[in-house]
Structure formats: C-alpha cells, structure tokens
Amino acid sequence: MFYRQKILLALIEAFGGRLSRIDLQKYLFLFSQKCQKDPSYDFVPYQYGCFSFQSYADRRNLTEAGFLELKDDWELTEKESFLGSVRKEDRQKLETFSKYYLDKKGDDLVREVYTKYPYYAINSKIADRVLSAEELEDVEVQRPNNYENCFFTIGYEGKSFENYLNRLIQNNIKLLCDVRRNPLSRKYGFSKKTLSETLKKLGISYVHIPELGIVSEKRQELNDQADYDRLFNEYERTTLKDNTQALRELFSLFQQHKRIAITCFEATSCMCHRGRVAKAISQLPEWDYPIQHI
C-alpha cells in the first residue's frame, strides 16, 4: 500500500470512518494544503471544486483490497486502524485537523475552500449557490483568460496527473496532441484512454498522432544528452522527413484551436522528441507564433 493511501484511509477514520464524496475531497484537499509539506494528493478545479482523480483511482484499488466499502460514500470496512499505520507526526496532524473541522461539512466546507482557494472553484457547478457576488468575482479573476495563439509542449515525467492537468488548464490549452508512438504508461492517468476521457471532462480535446512518435526500441540505452541528440537527429532525418503530412495536420489543428500542446513523457523538451516536433513546425513557411515549453 502506498503511503498516500494510508493517509487517505487514516483521514476517513479520523472523521468517524465514513465521509460523503464532496466532503472527502474537501477535507483531503485542506489537509494536504494546511498540514503537509509534500501533499499526498494534488487537485484540479472540477465540477464541485477541488478534485483528485488519483484519489478515485486509489479508492478503486482499496475497495478491491477490502479496505473500503463499495458504496457512494467513502466508508471503511473497519478491519483495522489506519491512524496507527501512519507516522506519528501525521497521526497527530490528522487528529488535530479532524477535531477542528468535525462540525464543518457540506456547503459550509465547500465555501471555505472556494473563498480561500478560489482557483479551484472556476469549474464549479455550485459556486453560484455557496458564494456571494463579491466572492464570485474572486473566482473569475482566477479563470485563465489567455486566448492568443500559442503552441505548447508538455511532459509528465516526475509530475502527478493533477499537476499535469493544471498546467493545461492554467495555460488555457484547448487541444492536447499526443505524439507518443504508443500512448501507454504505467503511471496513473497517462495512458490514452484515461487521459483522453479525463481531458474531455475538463473541456479539453485530445488527438493522438502516432506518426510523429518514436518506436520504443530506439529509446533504449539513452544515458546522457549526447545519446538523446543522436536519437533526435536521426528522428529529424527519417520520421519527421517522412511524415510532413502529419506536421501539416498538426499545424491545421493549431490554426483551428489557437492554443494546443503536444505531449510526451520526458520532463524537459531537450530530452524529448517533442522539442524537435516543435522545431519542425516552427520552420513551416507560414509559422509566426510563440512556442512555450511548460
């Protein structure tokens, strides 16, 4: 069991062993913000405010393992004490946190999150109900308002799913173009099915352009920048040269959506072929737009 999952279960136990879906997300968010230097979970602005997709993936695994009941609410099976399984300092923080928030739930809890962290209310269905007109203005200020044409590249190495999604949201990305040859990942959220379905929920389109990817076999034995440069130089001479139509398709998508991002694994563009894709598209005769690596 991952330590973050122990924190999740211990949090539920600290609040009596059962929490509603919305309350659980708000408590987990506030605990991560107020009590953890390195948060166990990251969050995105979603239909009812702060939301962790990773926590729901963990919930499915913990339910299958018999630690949570298969119900709408998040409810422990009461097989053991999870507060005793976390570090002493975390247990003390959880106990103090739960005492402080024990009587705050429902709309009162939602309102506290929205007023203190208005960014997480930008996609909320219920903000109009729980916030005043002045507080709603604070939410509007947090809404991304950059609409000028810009081409982005983004990687997910070393980042949580929610961190990755927030970078797309905050830069007002309208379309994500996956340039991996095989869009599979052992890391939660980054395989094609989960990624595309989650993006749709957040109002971001997804397209896969495998022609611009690099086959897995060629990615072996890459130990330093020189190895990557040799691979990418070959990639420019072969794959990019042979797939000018795919580059044209990418440019057409950019013209249509104005703010798009191409994505692959590596954290930095200089160690990822997406940097060469960006370079190639910038060399098209019609190109006169900024490129940002986020």
DSSP state string for the chain = --HHHHHHHHHHHHTTSEE-HHHHHHHHHHHHHHH-SS-S---EEETTEEE-HHHHHHHHHHHHTTSB-SSSSEEB--SS-SGGGS-HHHHHHHHHHHHHHTT--HHHHHHHHHHH-GGGGTT-SSHHHHS-HHHHHHHHHHS----S-EEEEEE-TT--HHHHHHHHHHTT--EEEE--SS---SSTT-SHHHHHHHHHHTT-EEEE-GGG---GGGGSS--SHHHHHHHHHHHIIIIIHHTHHHHHHHHHHHHHHSEEEEEES-SSGGGSTHHHHHHHHHTSTT----EEE-
Q: What local confidence, expressed as pLDDT, does residue 14 receive?
A: 97
Query: Which amino acid type is present at position 127?
Result: A
Phi, psi of 178 (to 5 degrees): -85, 115
Q: What local confidence, expressed as pLDDT, does residue 204 receive?
A: 98
Query: Could you tell me which residues come within 8 angstroms of residue 157 by beta carbon, excluding any fewer than 6 positions away?
Result: 265, 266, 267
Q: What local confidence, expressed as pLDDT, does residue 222 receive?
A: 76
Q: What local confidence, expressed as pLDDT, does residue 216 receive?
A: 75
Q: What local confidence, expressed as pLDDT, does residue 219 receive?
A: 72
What is the full per-residue pLDDT of the chain (294 aa) written as tens digits? 999 999 999 999 999 999 999 999 999 999 999 999 999 999 999 999 999 999 999 999 999 999 999 999 999 997 778 999 999 999 999 999 999 999 999 999 999 999 999 999 999 999 999 999 999 999 999 999 999 999 999 999 999 999 999 999 999 999 999 999 999 999 999 999 999 999 999 999 999 999 999 987 777 777 788 988 899 999 999 999 999 999 999 999 999 999 999 999 999 999 899 999 999 999 999 999 999 999
Q: What local confidence, expressed as pLDDT, does residue 228 receive?
A: 87
Query: 150-293 has which CATH code?
Result: 3.90.190
Pinpoint the residues of the chain covered by CATH 3.90.190: 150-293
Query: Which amino acid type is present at position 97?
Result: F
b/e sequence 213-222, b meaning 16+ C-beta within 10 Å: bbeeeeeeee
b/e sequence 176-196, b meaning 16+ C-beta within 10 Å: bbbbbbebeeeeebbebeebb
Of 14, 36, 39, 35, residue with least CA distance to 102: 14
Please tell me the pTM assigned to this model. 0.94
Give the gyration radius of the chain's Cα atoms.
22
Distance from C-alpha of 152 to C-alpha of 215, rounded to nearest angstrom: 23
Query: Which amino acid type is present at position 248?
Result: R
